[in-house]
Every structure is written in C-alpha cells, then in structure tokens.
Structure 1
Amino acid sequence: MQFSLDLLERCEPCARSSDSILSPRALLGRAFSGDLATPAVAVRAVAWLLLWEAAGFTCSPATTFNNTRVVAGIRATCSEIILRQEVLKDGFHRDLLTKVKFGESIEDLQTCRLLIKQYIPTGLFVDPYELASLRERNITEAVMVSENFNIEAPNYLSKESEVLIYARQDSQCIDCFQAFLPVHYRYHRPHSKDGETFIVVHNPDLLMYCDQEFPVLKCWAQSKVTAPCALNSKDICQWNNMKYKSVYKNLTLQVPVGLTIHTFLVCSVTLLITILCSTLILVAVFKYGHFSL
C-alpha cells in the first residue's frame, strides 16, 4: 500500500488540474470509504494508478504548458540556416553564386566570418590565375586548395578539386552572406548517341567562426575544422562546420558534347581547312615577302 500512496502523491497535481475527470487518488479514496469499500473497486483503483504511471501522467497541464513554451523558445533560437546556389551566365564559362541566410537576425554578426569549402567536380575547373586577378581587384576572396592542378586536362583525366571562398556579408540583408566563384567547363568524351552530359555540383561545407558565442553555433555546429583565419593570414582558426538546409539538393549543369558518328566528318573538314589556310599563308609569303641571300 505504501507503493500506491507514493504514486498518488506524484499524480496529485494532475488530479487537481481537472474536475471533469475522476483522478486515481479520488477513486482510491472512494474505494476505501464507506460508499465503495469493496475489494474489486480497490483493485481497480490501483490498476488505474499503474496505468497513469506507465503513461507518464505525473505532472500538471500547467507544467506541461510551461515545458512546451520553453522548448518553443529553444526552437526559436535554432532557426534554420538556408543555403542557395545558382549558376549565372551561359556557355562554357559560368559564375557560381552562393547565398547564405540565417533564419533570424543576429546582432553583431559582423564579428562572424563565413567560409565556404566548395568541391569542384571533374567536369569543371577553376583557374587559379583568374582567382589571383579577381583577388587583386577585390571582387572575390577565393583560393585553390588542391595542388598539381591542370586546367588543360579533359574531364576523364582530371581530379576533383577544392576551393575555399571567404563569403562577404550582404549589404542589402543584415543576416545574409554571399560568395562568388568563376567556373569553367572541361572537355568531355564524345558520346555515341546523346549529345549532352550532366555535371553534378554537390553542396559545399559551410564553416563559421565568431569572436563570441551565438545560439546558432550551439544549435547547428557539427564539428571543428581547421582553416586559415583569413585569406592572406597565416593564423589558423578552429571553424565550426555548420548544418544547414539547402534550397536545392544538388546543382546540375548541362554540357554539350560531340558525337562519335561525326568523327570522320570533323577530322576531314579540319584537315582540309588546315591545308587551305597553310597554302594561303605560303602564297602570301612568297608574293609579298622580301628575301635576301
């Protein structure tokens, strides 16, 4: 009976919260009163107590509401980070634009830095000399990570590369960052039937470093990643690898390729044009050139 009374004490707040439902304490009290003093009712009351304990009804609705409100407050501070990538321009030379938006306005966000680790598939390449020129003109802050990089290699002879892009805060959005990276298509093998192929650009790693702690770091930081603190700095910082929600699962680019059935025609026309142009050059040299022995 001591065990049953302990359960009654724990369920007492729930009994007080509702007048329309008969609580187990009241039922057990009536079971031992003169009106319902039967063994069957007492057993039924104890059974109800055990069911309530198993179901977890040991707290009042007011307490449940307060806990729900606290959880809602935590979720409010853990609003999602949205990442969107899109490709600008047409042809074989494109611009990869990455935009990051925090779900809430964070004060003093200027104390945070955002680093995008972009994985470049074999079908694309980034020109390191072009990046150097863009850095000099303060257009973008990106640097190649991969070594022994060949920009002339075709798709089937190249390897995946990595680029670090230091994102800049968007002047038109308080809690937004954006990064810009020029990319170029590589040459692909010709196909036998389909005259196009597809390149899949996977979502990047989003790294964040702040001088002070923000709730967003506690909510979405997954691991620590070592990377330079700034583009031209030798200092190493521990960046937070952030979890985010991407607007697109992956970015897919469509690339036109040649057909193998056109091999003979292309080679023949190329050879004829080469012979014709070489002949015209030789004729012009002998006709207008001045030779001295």
Structure 2
Amino acid sequence: MYFVFFSLFAFLSTCHCFIEKDVKENESHCGLLTRWLESSLVSVEITKKGFHREVVTTVELSPDVLSGVSIVLVHRWPRGVFVDPYQLASLSEQSDWQILLDSAIDLEVPAHQTAGFVTYVYPSPDGPTPRLKVTIPIHGRYHEPSYDGGAFTSVDIEHPELLLRTEKCTQLHNVEPHAVVDAPCTHDNSSTCLWVKLQHQERGLVRVQFPVGDGSLVTPVCAGTLLVTMLCCVALSKHMWKHRII
C-alpha cells in the first residue's frame, strides 16, 4: 500500500516538474520573441517611375532572430495599384521569398471599380543575416479623369506589418504591448497560425503619383475623333469608287 502511494506521488511530482519546465521554457521563448520584435525595424522605399514601380521593403532584425523564427510581411495595398500574379510567381522562383494573395487580381479594371487587397510575404533568409530585403513590383491602375485641371493623382501605400512566430512559443497570452493576430502559416494557405505583430512601428505612408486624363477635354477629343473617323471613311470611299475597288 505504501509502495503504491509512494510510486503515485513520485509519478505526479515528475509530471509536475516536466509541466513546470515546459511552461518556463515557453515563457522564455515568448519573452525572446517580444524582445526581437522591439529591436526590429521596417522601412519602405519606392523605386522607378511611371505606372510601373517597385516597393522595396527592408527589415532590420536582431542578429539571432533568424534561428527557428518564422517571418511574414503583411502588405495592405490600396485600390489604386495592383500586382501581377504571374510576374510574382516568376519572381518567387528566383528569389528567397514566397508570396500569398488574399484574393484574385483583375489586371484590367480601373481603380474606381475595384477594391484593395492583401499580400502575405514569407521571406526565407539565406544565412544568418539580420537584414531582409524584399522587392515587389507594383503597377498603377487607370484612374478616373480629373476635372479640376490636375494631371496626377496620389496613391498612399502603407508600411507592411511585421509578424513573427516560433514553434517554441505556444502560449501567446503575455506579449504586450504587441498584438496576437491570425495569419496563414505558410504561402500555401493550408492553415492559419497565431503570430505576434510588431505594435510600435512607424505606420508611415509612401505616396506615389500616377498621371490621369483631363476630364475637360473629353468632349473636344470625342468630337475630334468622330470628325477624323468620318473624314477617313469619306476619303476611303472615294478612293474605292474611283478605282472600282469592290
């Protein structure tokens, strides 16, 4: 009887020790995750001109953050721009990052007939480098003509959200001041995971400008086009009648 009681007590004590050890390790890894976030910095730069630009995102991380930590950049794009899925698929094969789109992209519709979209970028750093750089090509959509004489329209692009997660931090309940959000685990979008979002980062805007048409010229342009078309038809008809071309 005493032997059974002693064995049960020893078993429960061992289980308690293992559970307490796992809890301490989880809290330790979660604490490291929040400290890594606090030392991280995200910056955005727009390159090239015209309707075809490149958004260059640079992420500065702690030197030891890349060991067992997954990273995702969440871009929330405005309706004034779009990305080409086929172009991104080709770039992903040649780059050290993968991308996931939250919806289908229609390449033809103008800006006022579409909505914004979200992309999830999963960098795969090659080597222990604390700096990650992702270049995403974007394209300006056609906008409604301007009736106030403006030749350009502005589109504001937000800095992406930085999310981190690690398999060793499972109890994400004490990561303040950062937030815990749901996001796809990988670019395959097979399941969602809990991620820690960098809370105190600069939510700046990068403004780009795209040319637009002059709405006051719609009537004269249409009238001129119609007149030229009619003159060409008359000239072509006379030529065909003169040379008996049937």
TM-score by length of 2: 0.67
Structure 1 portions without partners, runs of 5+: 1-75, 284-290
Post-superposition CA distance 1:56-88 (Å, at most 9, x none)? xxxxxxxxxxxxxxxxxxxx9875321111112
1:195 maps onto 2:151 in alignment = yes
Percent of residue pairs identical: 27
Q: Which residue of 2 aligns with 1:251?
A: 206
Are the aligned partners of 1:196 and 1:257 in contact in 2 as well (CA < 8 Å)?
A: yes
Are the aligned partners of 2:79 and 2:116 in contact in 1 as well (CA < 8 Å)?
A: yes
Given residue 134 of structure 1, which amino acid in structure 2 is its aligned partner? L
- How many correspondences in the alignment? 205
Q: Which residue of 2 aligns with 1:132?
A: 89
How far apart are the structure 2 equivalents of 1:77 and 1:227?
A: 19
Post-superposition CA distance 1:71-106 (Å, at most 9, x none)? xxxxx987532111111211101111111112x422
- 1:252 Cα deviation after fit: 0.7
- 1:273 Cα deviation after fit: 6.5
TM-score by length of 1: 0.58
Larger radius of gyration: 1
Post-superposition CA distance 1:194-218 (Å, at most 9, x none)? 11111111222211122445xxxx7
1:90 maps onto 2:49 in alignment = yes
SS at match of 1:245: coil
How far apart are the structure 2 equivalents of 1:273 and 1:227?
A: 56
Are the aligned partners of 2:82 and 2:140 in contact in 1 as well (CA < 8 Å)?
A: yes
- 1:226 Cα deviation after fit: 2.4
If asked which structure has higher relative contact order (CA below 8 Å, sep 6+), I would say 2
Structure 2 portions without partners, runs of 5+: 1-34, 239-245
Greater per-residue helix proportion: 1
SS at match of 1:165: strand
Post-superposition CA distance 1:229-277 (Å, at most 9, x none)? 222362432211122433x721111111111222234334544666788
Given residue 231 of structure 1, which amino acid in structure 2 is its aligned partner? H
- 1:136 Cα deviation after fit: 4.0
How far apart are the structure 1 equivalents of 2:55 and 2:179?
A: 26
Given residue 59 of structure 2, which amino acid in structure 1 is its aligned partner? V
Name the Cα RMSD after superposition. 3.7
1:237 maps onto 2:193 in alignment = yes
Are the aligned partners of 1:168 and 1:179 in contact in 2 as well (CA < 8 Å)?
A: no
Distance 1:164 1:282, change over 3 A: farther
SS at match of 2:120: strand
- 1:227 Cα deviation after fit: 2.5
